[in-house]
Structure 1
Amino acid sequence: MAAPSEESDRVGPSSGPVETALVALEADSDPGKQLERLQELMGLLREQRHRETASKQVFQDIQQILTKSSHEVELACQEAGRLVCLDRHLQLIAECFRCLRNACVQCPGNQGTIRDLDLIGTSVKLVDLFRKRNVIKQESQLTAFRCGLQFLGNAVAGNEASQRILWKDAFPDLFLACLSYPDEKIVTYSCMILFTCLNSERLKDLQSRNMTIALRVVQAYEKQADAEWAFLIISDYLLKIPELVNSLYAKLSHQERVTLLELMIAKLLGDEPLTSEDTAAFLSHAGFVASKFKENYKSVLKLASVRHREDEEALTAIRLLHALCEMSANCDLLPSLQAFPGLLETALETLQMTHLAGRQTLNVFTTSPCVRGHWDISNPVAGFKSHLIRLIGNLCYKDRNNQDKVYQLDGIPLILDSCSIDDNNPFLNQWAVYAIRNLTEQNKRNQELIAKMENRGLADTALLKKMGLEVKQQDRKLTLRSTRKASGG
């Protein structure tokens, strides 16, 4: 018995809605009617049951319309007079992409058929044509461009074979163009595709073949901070390669550097703990950030001048310090920072410089003693002194060598003298308590120094009490004791 013909299989009584729409699509040669049939087909392909029953012929017919309309677009780009007749073809292209986009959702079979028909390669070429031919000004062109990227994203989602094809066809030119395109949605969709395709091997391509793509991802996120796909690319992939991050940092503007540092901080503070791979990368990041802070810490003093309140190098140094605080709060990263040459000395010198600057003239470093319950968000150094004391406290945690360095550099009196109420430095006293505790833990010389300071009137008794400390004389010796009850944590 002969097998039923393809035609009888598609139009017989058992034909489904998709096949019925397909027959109607084939019967119409008028672009307007084709658009209506494509819209009907697009609606059907939103449902899983229709996607799963779609035949190869569905995609072949869509490919035929897409190819013909693409040819018209190409001709129109060569002859300016034909641009006025282009809108209908652009609408057909957008609708073809919508059909293909819907057909790929949770349907590996359709993804495979689309890949085998080389619809990925065809679509990449068409999208590339859109971004090259700026002579096309219709809104329908932008819509078709966006729909094409959406389709490509769905075509490769969860499908390694399709990802390989797209990467071969699109890397690096399509990503380079789309990531810097002046339309936010184009940038978003290209980030989605890039994130979907990335793996450890392709990440090496970004590092070795075209680092500009990584650069443009960071720039895209800096311009559009709610761009989730760009965030995921940086957080889940770029931050895993310290060498790439170091090279990127050198090419970024100061504002973009701030953005990259904020993403590092977000990774450290995220709900998910760092993996062993993340920790290995951040050990390198910690050293890099520490070296950059040592290079740029003096720039912060520029902010004391009204003329330099927006100095970008100084603002970058502030964010470097914030990143160091969060890194040093991580038990896996702390030892490397405690041992980093000159970091503790730099933090103490910065605290001394800014402390003196705030006393010499009225400026952003001057203590604001009024208690308002909030700090001046226009102050570029809000929280800076708190961060410095927090970092010093972290670096001295169970580290006798660093405790002794602070003693030798007269850092203990400086910390105590810096800890008056200051609305521009929230939690300053709390971080000072923490720093003094870490400086005096199992360190009698540091304990004795603070006790002698109080006995000579050099340390503020009220401040020590706020810190939960008091000086007691016993057996003709002064000792520093905690007035707080021991508690867990």
Structure 2
Amino acid sequence: MFTCARVLVMAASSDSMQNINSALCEIATEKLTNTHLTTLETVTKALRDEQLRNSVDREALGNLFAVLSRLSVDVQHLTEQIDSQEGSLCHKLTAECFRAHRNACVQCTQNQCCLRDLGSIKLSFEILAKFLKISSGGSNDIYDALRCGIQFLGNIAVGNQLCKDDIWELGFPHIFWDLLELPDEKAVSYTCMVIHTCLDEHKTEQLVKHTQQLKLSLKIVDLCRTLPDVDWTVFIATQHFLKSSELIRKMYTEMTNEARLTLLELILAQLGVVEEEKDCSMPLSVAQFLASCFTEHCRAVLTLSSESSDDQAAMVVIRLLEILCEMTSDCKEFMALQDHSGLLCATVGLLKDVNLLGKTSKNVFTAAQDFSLTRPGGADTHPAFSFKAHLIRLIGNLCHGHIVNQDKVRELDGIALILDNCSIDSNNPFISQWAVFAIRNILEHNLENQKLIQSLRRQGVADDTMLRDMGLRVEERDGNLLLRPLKKDP
């Protein structure tokens, strides 16, 4: 008789069982009862112990697999009896058997390989497929069994390439898709955990091969938005999807603007992580693709000057600009964007457009001097908030140490344009600082640009109304402009 059974009995519940192997054999052959459920619960609990788990041999795992095989047959037979007492017990037993399998695989390569050899992965997918057919309007017991089955697949895959490959072959893409469509957040989360565990560079590239595979990728990105508490979707997107420029390009092309915003938010957040860890796994080709998207569609942001302030196409441009600002902020991996055809011209041209729009009529691009700390629904809640400042920041980044771009800004009359935006603007905090930064980068080691600046004639302060409202005035002394407190009337 299986010697480990006595260990299991002592570790789990020696008063209720004398021989776990015999009990497992009974489940595989006899009519199902609640006693069998207690047996499986005992086995599940026992397999939590690492020492015991590592000592389990093939006979015990074979008996456990036999139970799962028998339950698979019963699930099929009881498909039309979802709410019956017998059906409910079968579903509970299946869930518990999956739990026992799950526990047996925790950090135990030997058990993972044994269960794989027995056929547990293929059998598990067959059972999950049966439950998926009856899950609509089904009981909590069905969802519990689905969750536990998915968890088992996750545990058997960890650190085991053969199991990962089997799971991917059997589950991708159709069963994964059906699982992600479940109205059960835990089941969806566990499915994403399995997908994340199995994914590698080769499997990620498969996601662009056919419509159904790409559809699965788009679904995962959409889940980042609809299920924000499911971290695994974010891990899949940032640790796998963003490494494939082909996948990003294909997904972005097929996405709605709403979905694009979700993807861009993920990229922006990942760039923040990269800045902290100084390690970027996103290829330059992804950055170049995003730069092209901005160059081709940046004028969509101009619609924000009218009533269509919720235009998602404009929001996409705004997020693209924020991403490009981060990518060109001393990230060596992405500084080749300075050589991107058309990016600088598009940025300077867009700055001209929004600058002109802001002056010809009162809109979101118009400079303002409302610095109230409490402005419900104010400019700082509008999507165009800081947009001009970001444009100037990007121009400055693209010109850093780059003589060709410095000259191009001069040729586009961009220097005077940037100087025109040196005034304080509550719609664009720090715009004057970004303008100074940009001018510094445009002039550095560039004699032609320096001569242009020197040739400009100071005309004084164009509009000091804002300064006076703040209790300040401008005073000229020895050729310099000084900021002084406004004299009060006696």
- TM bin (shorter chain): 0.7 to 0.9
Determine the structure 2 residue equivalent to 1:59: 61
Cα drift, residue 392 of structure 1? 0.5
Residue 304 of structure 1 contacts residue 365 of structure 1 at CA under 8 Å; is this kept in 2? yes
Q: Of residues 450, 470, 474 in structure 2, which corresponds to 1:447?
A: 450
1:399 aligned onto 2:402: yes
Residue 203 of structure 1 contacts residue 237 of structure 1 at CA under 8 Å; is this kept in 2? yes
Residue 187 of structure 1 contacts residue 220 of structure 1 at CA under 8 Å; is this kept in 2? no
The aligned amino acid for 1:51 is: R
Cα drift, residue 378 of structure 1? 2.4
Determine the structure 1 residue equivalent to 2:340: 340
Determine the structure 1 residue equivalent to 2:130: 129
The aligned amino acid for 2:404 is: N
Whole-angstrom distance in 2 between the partners of 1:46 and 1:12:
16
Matches within 5 A, 1:18-417: 20-26=19-25, 29=30, 30-77=32-79, 79=80, 83=84, 85-135=86-136, 137-209=138-210, 210-270=213-273, 271-274=276-279, 278=281, 281=283, 283-306=284-307, 308-372=308-372, 376-417=379-420
- Pair 154,22 (structure 1): closer, same or farther in 2 beyond 3 Å: same
Cα drift, residue 150 of structure 1? 0.6
Deviates more, 1:198-207 or 1:17-26: 17-26
Whole-angstrom distance in 2 between the partners of 1:140 and 1:438:
65
Whole-angstrom distance in 2 between the partners of 1:338 and 1:366:
29
- Pair 462,449 (structure 1): closer, same or farther in 2 beyond 3 Å: farther
TM-score under structure 2 normalisation? 0.85
Q: Of residues 11, 15, 22 in structure 2, which corresponds to 1:17?
A: 11
Whole-angstrom distance in 2 between the partners of 1:250 and 1:234:
16
Residue 416 of structure 1 contacts residue 459 of structure 1 at CA under 8 Å; is this kept in 2? no
Specify every segment of 5 or more residues in structure 2 that has no aligned partner in the other structure, as ranges.
13-17, 467-475, 481-490
Whole-angstrom distance in 2 between the partners of 1:106 and 1:247:
37
The aligned amino acid for 2:203 is: R
- Pair 81,390 (structure 1): closer, same or farther in 2 beyond 3 Å: closer
- Pair 289,472 (structure 1): closer, same or farther in 2 beyond 3 Å: farther
Query: How many residues are aligned here?
Result: 457
Cα drift, residue 119 of structure 1? 0.9
The aligned amino acid for 1:412 is: I
Residue 357 of structure 2 contacts residue 365 of structure 2 at CA under 8 Å; is this kept in 1? yes
Residue 334 of structure 1 contacts residue 395 of structure 1 at CA under 8 Å; is this kept in 2? no
Determine the structure 1 residue equivalent to 2:472: none
- Pair 13,104 (structure 1): closer, same or farther in 2 beyond 3 Å: closer
TM-score under structure 1 normalisation? 0.85
1:436 aligned onto 2:439: yes
Whole-angstrom distance in 1 between the partners of 2:77 and 2:454:
87
Whole-angstrom distance in 2 between the partners of 1:110 and 1:259:
40
The aligned amino acid for 2:297 is: N
- Pair 222,253 (structure 1): closer, same or farther in 2 beyond 3 Å: same
Determine the structure 1 residue equivalent to 2:469: none
* Percent identity over paired residues: 36
Residue 154 of structure 2 contacts residue 190 of structure 2 at CA under 8 Å; is this kept in 1? yes
Cα drift, residue 373 of structure 1? 5.7
- Pair 436,120 (structure 1): closer, same or farther in 2 beyond 3 Å: same
- Pair 10,155 (structure 1): closer, same or farther in 2 beyond 3 Å: closer
Query: What secondary structure, in the 3-state scheme, does the structure 1 residue paired with 2:332 have?
Result: coil
Residue 82 of structure 2 contacts residue 139 of structure 2 at CA under 8 Å; is this kept in 1? no
- Pair 441,125 (structure 1): closer, same or farther in 2 beyond 3 Å: same
Whole-angstrom distance in 2 between the partners of 1:472 and 1:398:
35
Whole-angstrom distance in 2 between the partners of 1:14 and 1:101:
17
RMSD: 2.9
The aligned amino acid for 2:256 is: S
The aligned amino acid for 1:396 is: C
Query: What secondary structure, in the 3-state scheme, does the structure 2 residue paired with 1:455 have?
Result: coil
Deviates more, 1:79-88 or 1:354-363: 79-88
Cα drift, residue 461 of structure 1? 11
Specify every segment of 5 or more residues in structure 1 that has no aligned partner in the other structure, as ranges.
1-5, 464-470, 480-489
Residue 83 of structure 1 contacts residue 136 of structure 1 at CA under 8 Å; is this kept in 2? no
Whole-angstrom distance in 2 between the partners of 1:106 and 1:37:
24
Cα drift, residue 439 of structure 1? 1.3
Cα drift, residue 391 of structure 1? 0.2
Residue 357 of structure 1 contacts residue 365 of structure 1 at CA under 8 Å; is this kept in 2? yes
- Pair 13,60 (structure 1): closer, same or farther in 2 beyond 3 Å: closer
- Pair 460,332 (structure 1): closer, same or farther in 2 beyond 3 Å: farther
Cα drift, residue 91 of structure 1? 0.7
Cα drift, residue 12 of structure 1? 6.4
Cα drift, residue 136 of structure 1? 5.3
Residue 260 of structure 2 contacts residue 316 of structure 2 at CA under 8 Å; is this kept in 1? yes
Whole-angstrom distance in 1 between the partners of 2:162 and 2:7:
36
Whole-angstrom distance in 1 between the partners of 2:113 and 2:174:
24
Cα drift, residue 151 of structure 1? 0.7
The aligned amino acid for 1:347 is: T
Residue 389 of structure 2 contacts residue 429 of structure 2 at CA under 8 Å; is this kept in 1? yes
Residue 328 of structure 1 contacts residue 394 of structure 1 at CA under 8 Å; is this kept in 2? yes
- Pair 14,95 (structure 1): closer, same or farther in 2 beyond 3 Å: closer
Whole-angstrom distance in 2 between the partners of 1:69 and 1:15:
23
Residue 416 of structure 1 contacts residue 432 of structure 1 at CA under 8 Å; is this kept in 2? yes
Whole-angstrom distance in 1 between the partners of 2:390 and 2:347:
10
Determine the structure 2 residue equivalent to 1:484: none
Cα drift, residue 132 of structure 1? 2.8
Residue 8 of structure 2 contacts residue 20 of structure 2 at CA under 8 Å; is this kept in 1? no
Residue 4 of structure 2 contacts residue 56 of structure 2 at CA under 8 Å; is this kept in 1? no
Cα drift, residue 80 of structure 1? 5.3
Query: What secondary structure, in the 3-state scheme, does the structure 1 residue paired with 2:369 have?
Result: coil
Residue 344 of structure 1 contacts residue 402 of structure 1 at CA under 8 Å; is this kept in 2? yes
Describe the superposition over 1:193-251 as per-residue Cα deviations: whole angstroms up to 9, x where unpaired.
Answer: 11111122222322325222222221221222343222222222222221111111011
Describe the superposition over 1:102-152 as per-residue Cα deviations: whole angstroms up to 9, x where unpaired.
Answer: 111111111112111111111111112222334551011111111110110
Residue 296 of structure 1 contacts residue 317 of structure 1 at CA under 8 Å; is this kept in 2? yes
